[in-house]
Amino acid sequence: VKPINCFILFLFVAFEHFGQVNQFIPYSHDQGLQSRFIYDICQDDKGNILLATENGLINYNGYQFNEILVKEQKERSFFNSFLLDSQNNIWIGNNRGQVWKRDSKGTIKKIEIPESFNSAIINFYEDYDGEIWISSKTNGIIKLSPTGAQNHYPFNSEIRILNSFQGISRKSFLIGSNEGLYLYRENLNKSLDLVKKIALIPQTKITFIGKENDYFWVGTIDEGLYKIALKKQDELEFELFTSYPELNKYSIKSAISSKNEVLWVSSTGDGLLRIKDNELVHFQESDGLSSESLSQLFKDKEENIWIGTLGKGLMRKYNSPFKPYSINGIEEQEIADIIDYNQEKFLAGSEGLYKSNGLTELVGANSLAQWQGKLFVSTRKNGIYLFNGKGFSLFENSVFQQNKINQILIKENQLYVATSTQGLIVMNLLDRSYEQFNTTNGLTHNEVNSCYVDSKERIWLAMSGGVLNAIEKGEIKIFGNEQGLHAFDFSEIDEDENGVIWISSNGGGLYSYSNNIFKNYSRSEGLHTNYLTSLCTDKKGNIWCAGRDGISRYSLDSEKFYSYNSKTNIYNFSISQKGLKSMGDSLVILGNKGVFLHDRDNDIQNTSSNKLSFTQVLINDSLFQFDKKIELANGKYSLAAKFQKISFTNQQEIQYRFYLDGQEDSYGPAFNDPSCYYPGLLSGDQKLKIISSDGNGNWDEEPLVLELSIDIPIYQKPYFILLCILGLIGIFTSYILYKEKRNKNIQNYLNTELDNRTAEVRSQKEELAEKNKEIEDSIIYAERIQKSMLPNSKLLTENTKDHFILFKPRDIVSGDFYWFTETKEHFIFAGADCTGHGVPGSMMSMICISELNKTIQIHKEVNPAEILKRVDHGVKIALHQNTDMQANDGMDIGLCVLEKKAKRILFSGAGRPCYFIQNDELHVIKGSRNHIGGAQEEEKSFEVHEIDVSNKTKIYLSSDGFVDQFGGPKGKKYMRKQFREMLSSEHTKSMSDQRDALNQSFQNWKGNLEQVDDVLVMGLEF
């Protein structure tokens, strides 16, 4: 037998004085449970514990008790049974045969049952067809089909009182009566017939039938407990598996088995029974039960055992994985270390060194070690003592006394002393030589919290300040942030069986070191806290680490953390620095209330498998149903949601992460607070997604989802946009149509107007044409008159050698005119240009011609200047230009008088020149600047120029119509210069050719432009 096993045996045998720990957590009035009688217990799919009580149906979510169904105030009844069926409906029965059904939405409906069915509802059963069987104490059984049909099966003669009812297979039932256990079967004719009495069970009062897996527990009032099962499903033959006849002195109310093959049995007056390996433990009020009158036992999903009492509310069996033990006097002491020395247990406590039989009077021991039968005891302030079993003596006082020792460790004859001021001191216990590692030889600093010598003889030093030092063959290595270590302090170091170094830290959680790589484990991996003060490994592949408020165990097999919250598992227990010790196969926990041992048998890791569920959803502070999508009109909303993942053992370790899909991209950090708040929700579809961890770092794979739909603004809605587009199209189309119609109307109006105007214009045109024709006819007639007044060209022919007259009236009648007459000795000819053209010009020409004729014929004047004077005078008179009436009408004229005999031509010009060519030379005689007619009152004088025509002379007279004609490539006037050049260049031609050349030149120059004035050019050759 190994010594350590002896030690463990010693722990359990020698230290029999275990501390008192309340193993039952009461729930009564003080905890908010107003009901005292608990008749039935179950758990819903969300993990809520449901209670049938004398006051109503109660829900407990780990925080508070809520009433689901409350009986009427004056009703003298109680709810004593219920069923949570496969559809999440809750069927509730009372002791007066009344039944209610609460559906999954919370709607409660009373089931109509005949009034004669008035005895207590014993229990409900849902069969394979979803039919609900309601058993009563004395009125038989009612079957409710999903359609609502009822079948009532009264008891036959065998049954007077039904105490329990349990379906076992399709349409077969066990009924516990006061005379034993009966098997009944529903036949096709809808009768409930007795099959047989179960002979395996004594003929006594059957108090309880419970189904657990394929077994049935049958409790009796005075014949113990039985566990039976069907041999074959169809034959309805039972076989007995286990019986507990020794329980015959207890009136058994309920039985349930938990992990580790522990059977729990409740009795109606004798408390709770625990059976394991045929060992019976009886729990009574003196053991912490609030009552010994128990009702139902229930095992929840976390393996918690719930115990209903009659009169004292509810209890929960608390399975502590830590078993306290103590030596007298240390219960209130903070224990720092523990060691087995000389088959006796020694503890380093705040008030001294304790052993099993008492205090040894050393103050402030903090670390223990032994070597060659000697117990080394370190103190914080006074160095190290040797204890020989009777007394203490200082050990190497000169070396250790002033060093504020944190820990001592002995390995291979070496004493390792971790100090706060001098670093690490390593002393060879054989020769008392020692070596010191401190800042002078490379240590980061001198405050060493603890040390550890691993299997490779490396000395690991857990240092303050977040630094880890290791001494390997005298060489100091420093590990810190660069190696990925992020902590305030390192507390302890240990090595597992695989050679992996584990380091606990304050602030950084847990680290492992293997193959030169540090790996971190923190809260996100399931560690209960990142502030660790102690660490140890055990031989079962577990890494234990502790903070002030709990312990975590990391299983190398499952690679998971399992947390033990001290507030839950060890009441008011604070774990010491370096308070975890692995001793043999067991874990020892040192703390401020003595010592606890890890009880592996009771270490049931209760991880909550309950569903995460909403408990409250508030939108703008108004409650909303959360079992369906929430649809909201467009507006401003805030969302506050509360949710829960129920755990009755690990509630504080459960964490939540959430995000609002639609506003956020991913889950936020983990919180313990089961609520969230979003002050401003965006419009559109959004999903609030929440996941929870079970306290051991296992997060939900599927999130809890709350679907929200906030109506988008109307202007963002597709139909609105479509309507807008259609509206715009409609408006545009309407506008187009309107415009078209309007245009059409306008067009019609215009057409009508046009037609009218056209008709009018036509009419006017016709009228105008008619008038024009009349005018034209008049003008044509005037032309004829004018032409008739023009001299006969015969005179020209007679008086000249050749001649031409280029006469191009701008209109039909002309203001220009040529005139000639003959006297006996004179041939008088002129080219004149009256003011205006057309009819006015022609009228002026008529006046001027008349005056010329009158001057020649009446006044016989042949002097050209005098002729012009007379004509001027005559025109003025004719036009009354000598009166006040202002009129500038008149005439420019070039007048030549040929003195036939003298072969001389006298020329006087009024505003017009005379061109003549003699000897191929063109001469120009400018006329007077005075014009014929007009308002000039002064007497006009006209010069007389003489031209000898005895030689060949060509005389040219013209109006200004030729030279003033616009045209040419630049639209300019023809100009006199070009006219003169034309005359010069063409004078050699015959007079008719000259006329054609002039005419051609004029037409070419004018081009498509309009003729601006009457044109007259006359050429006479003498």
Partner 1 sequence: VKNFIVHILCMFPILILGQAIPSDSENIENLITFSKDAPSQWGDDDNVQTFFAFIPFDYNEPFYIRIFDPNVGGFLDAAYGDKVFDSSTQFSIYGGEGAHSDPDAQGIDPVGNYKSGTLLDYKVFSDEKKYDMQWVTFGPFNPIEGEYDKSLNGYIFKIIAEGLEGNDGNLYSYYLSRHDNLNKPIDGANAFTYEYTFRLKSKGNIAHVYPFIDENVIAIKQFNFDLDADGDIKLYSVSKNGEDAKVSGDNSWDSSSHTVTEEEKFKCVDLQILRKVNTKNDVSLYVLNQYDEAIRFFSSPLGSHKYVYQFSVTPKEKE
Could you list the residues that contact partner 1 (CB under 8 A)? 36-37, 54, 76-78, 95-96, 118-120, 137-138, 160-161, 178, 205, 222, 251, 268-270, 292-293, 310-312
Nearer to partner 1, 139 or 800 (CB): 139
The side-by-side arrangement of strands in the sheet containing 510-514 is 489-495, 501-506, 510-514, 517-521
Say which amino acid occupies 25. I
Shortest Cβ 178–partner 1 spacing (Å): 6
Nearest Cα neighbor of 612 from 142, 43, 45, 2 is 45
Nearer to partner 1, 295 or 530 (CB): 295
| Alpha carbons 58 and 90: distance in angstroms, whole number | 12
Nearer to partner 1, 138 or 483 (CB): 138
Nearer to partner 1, 137 or 826 (CB): 137
Shortest Cβ 198–partner 1 spacing (Å): 19
- Which tokens sit at 542? 């577990």
| Alpha carbons 823 and 855: distance in angstroms, whole number | 12
Shortest Cβ 548–partner 1 spacing (Å): 42
Nearer to partner 1, 283 or 820 (CB): 283
| Alpha carbons 399 and 425: distance in angstroms, whole number | 9
Shortest Cβ 119–partner 1 spacing (Å): 5
Exposed e or buried b for every residue in 115-136, given b needs 16+ CB within 10 A? eebebbbbbbbbbeeebbbbbb
Nearest Cα neighbor of 382 from 360, 371, 367, 369 is 367
Identify whether the C-beta of residue 330 lies closer than 8 Å to the C-beta of residue 321.
Answer: no
- Which tokens sit at 97? 């045969």
| Alpha carbons 1019 and 741: distance in angstroms, whole number | 69
Nearer to partner 1, 96 or 600 (CB): 96
Nearer to partner 1, 44 or 292 (CB): 292
Contacts 24+ apart (CB under 8 A), 108-115: 108/69, 111/144, 113/142, 113/150, 114/152
Burial class (CB in 10 A: 0-12, 13-18, 19+), 420: middle
Nearest Cα neighbor of 620 from 689, 681, 567 is 681
3-state secondary structure of 1013: coil
Shortest Cβ 92–partner 1 spacing (Å): 16
Shortest Cβ 69–partner 1 spacing (Å): 17
Nearer to partner 1, 53 or 953 (CB): 53
Say what angle helices 718-789 and 838-853 make with each other, to 10 degrees.
10
Burial class (CB in 10 A: 0-12, 13-18, 19+), 501: buried
The side-by-side arrangement of strands in the sheet containing 108-111 is 79-84, 90-94, 99-102, 108-111
Nearer to partner 1, 182 or 819 (CB): 182
Nearer to partner 1, 268 or 446 (CB): 268
Shortest Cβ 303–partner 1 spacing (Å): 28
Number of Cβ atoms within 10 Å of the Cβ of 16: 7
Nearer to partner 1, 80 or 994 (CB): 80
Number of Cβ atoms within 10 Å of the Cβ of 977: 9
Shortest Cβ 121–partner 1 spacing (Å): 12
Q: What is the DSSP letter of 635?
A: S
| Alpha carbons 365 and 651: distance in angstroms, whole number | 37
Shortest Cβ 272–partner 1 spacing (Å): 14
Nearer to partner 1, 77 or 675 (CB): 77
Go through the chain and tell me how many residues it has. 1022
